[in-house]
Copies of this chain bind each other. A is one copy, B any other.
C-alpha cells in the first residue's frame, strides 16, 4: 500500500480535495465510532441485566412505595460503579397511593351471566364504600356521549367507557392518545352526573384478558368515585350483554391515598471537558405501576440512559459537554420528579443543550422525535437531520413531535428535546399491566435502544446544536 502511485494519489487528494477529504474523514471517523457504540452495546452491554434486577428482583415501583426507594438506591449504586464525575440523589415530593386488597368486579345480573371481570383499579382511585358498589351499567363511547346522556340517565349508575383504541393507527401511541381521555377524565366526568362508579375498557388494541391500569384525575369539588379498568375481552363481553338488557355489577376497590412522600431523582454525570455548562441529558423514569415489573414502562428507559454513560465510558470517550443521566421519579402519577428537576435546574441557571428521554419501551429503535421552542427549532432540526446518513444504517430517523413528559419542563431553557422512538407495535400489549416484565423485553432490541441514544449523544456532543 506504500507504492509511489498510492503516495501520488494521497498527495493529489490532499492538494485538490482538502475540504471534502476532511469531511469524509470526519464522516468515516463518526461512522466508525457509532459502529463501536453498537458493538459495545450488543456484545458487552449491561442494560439487560440491570433491567432484570429492576423488574424481577425489585418489581413494580410506584411512587412512594418501598420498591421505588429500592430502585433509587439500586440505580444510584449502578451509576456509582461506572466511575462518573458525580452521582447524586435529588429530593422530590411524590404522591403515595396504594391499591390495597385486590379489586373485585363481577356481573351479578342477569343471573345466568354471573361472572368475575378481570379488573384493576385506576391509579388515584378511591376505595369503594365498605359494602362495595352495586349498580346498573351504562355504556358510553366518549365523554361527549356522557354529556348527552346527562344526570338523569347516569345518576346512581356505573358508567362504562368502551371506546376501543383505533387499530388502524400505524403508531400505536396515536391510538392511545385517541382513547386515553376516557381513563383520565371519564370517572370524574361521570361523577359530575352522579355516577356511583366507573369502568374503563383497557387501553390496548389486543382482545385479551389482561387489565391495564393508569392514572385517573379527579377534579376538585367533584365526588370521587371508584374507577377501574377491565380487560378488553371482558369489555367486549359486557358490551354484548348490555345490548341484550339490563346488566348489574358489583364492585369493590380498597385503594388508599397517603400523605405525599419524600422520594428522589437519581442523577449521574460525566463532566464535559470544553463546555461543561452545556448539558446533554439522557433519561427515563424510575417509577412504574405497582402491578407488574415496569419493564417497558419505563425500566427500559432507565437502563437505556445508564447504558449510554456506560458505553461512552467503556469506549473511553471524553465528552466536550456534560453528559448527564437523570432517572426521574413519579412520571406515572404526578411528574413530581420532572418538575422538581426543572425547577432546581432553572434556579441554578443551567442550560440543557439537549435532553433525550426514553419512555416508549425497549423495542427496536426507529428514531427520535424532536421538539424545541419555535425560536431555535428550525435551524437545529435541520442540523440534526444532516446526521441522518450516519444514523440510517441503524434504522433511525427523526420526526417532529413531543419528547417525553419528564424532560418537557426543560423546554424553556431553549435547548432541543428528543423522545427516543422505538417500534411501537407491541408497547400497548404490556403497558401498565402485570405482564410488563423482563420476559417481554428482547435483549438485542433493548441494547440497540441504548446504542441509538448513545450515538445521538455522541453527535450532539461532538458538533453541538
Residues on A lying within 8 angstroms of B by beta carbon are: 38-39, 42-43, 167-168, 170, 172, 205-206, 364, 366, 393-395, 423, 425-426, 429, 442-445, 448
Contacts and interface: CB of A to CB of B under 8 A. Distances in A.
Given A39-B168, A43-B167, 14 more contacts: A38-B168, A38-B170, A167-B444, A170-B393, A172-B444, A205-B444, A206-B443, A364-B425, A423-B423, A425-B442, A425-B445, A425-B448, A426-B444, A426-B445
A43 B168 contact: yes
B168 A423 contact: no
28 contacts: A38-B168, A38-B170, A39-B168, A42-B167, A42-B168, A43-B167, A43-B168, A167-B444, A170-B393, A170-B394, A170-B395, A170-B448, A172-B444, A205-B444, A206-B443, A364-B364, A364-B423, A364-B425, A366-B395, A423-B423, A425-B442, A425-B444, A425-B445, A425-B448, A426-B442, A426-B444, A426-B445, A429-B442
Most buried by B among A38, A43, A423: A423
A46 to B, nearest CB: 14
Contacts of A38: 168, 170
A199 to B, nearest CB: 24
A205 B394 CA distance: 18
A38 B170 CA distance: 8
Please list the 6 inter-chain residue pairs (A to B) with the smallest Cβ-Cβ separation, ordered nearest first.
A39-B168, A425-B444, A42-B167, A425-B445, A43-B167, A364-B423
Copies of this chain: 2
A206 B443 CA distance: 8
A96 B349 CA distance: 74
A184 B394 CA distance: 30
A38 B429 CA distance: 20
Contacts of A426: 442, 444-445
A108 to B, nearest CB: 33
A406 B443 CA distance: 31
Contacts of A206: 443
A168 B40 CA distance: 8
A296 B43 CA distance: 25
A373 to B, nearest CB: 27
A87 B316 CA distance: 62
A445 B428 CA distance: 13
Nearest to A447: B167
Nearest to A208: B443
Contacts of A364: 364, 423, 425
A220 to B, nearest CB: 39
A443 B445 CA distance: 19
A361 to B, nearest CB: 13
Nearest to A39: B168
Nearest to A428: B444
A443 B168 CA distance: 13
Most buried by B among A167, A172, A394: A167
A172 B364 CA distance: 13
Nearest to A392: B397
Contacts of A42: 167-168
A339 B170 CA distance: 37
Most buried by B among A170, A426, A442, A445: A170
Nearest to A169: B42
A360 to B, nearest CB: 14
A141 to B, nearest CB: 16
A74 B184 CA distance: 46
Nearest to A393: B170
A314 to B, nearest CB: 14
A364 B422 CA distance: 11
A173 B388 CA distance: 24
A375 to B, nearest CB: 29
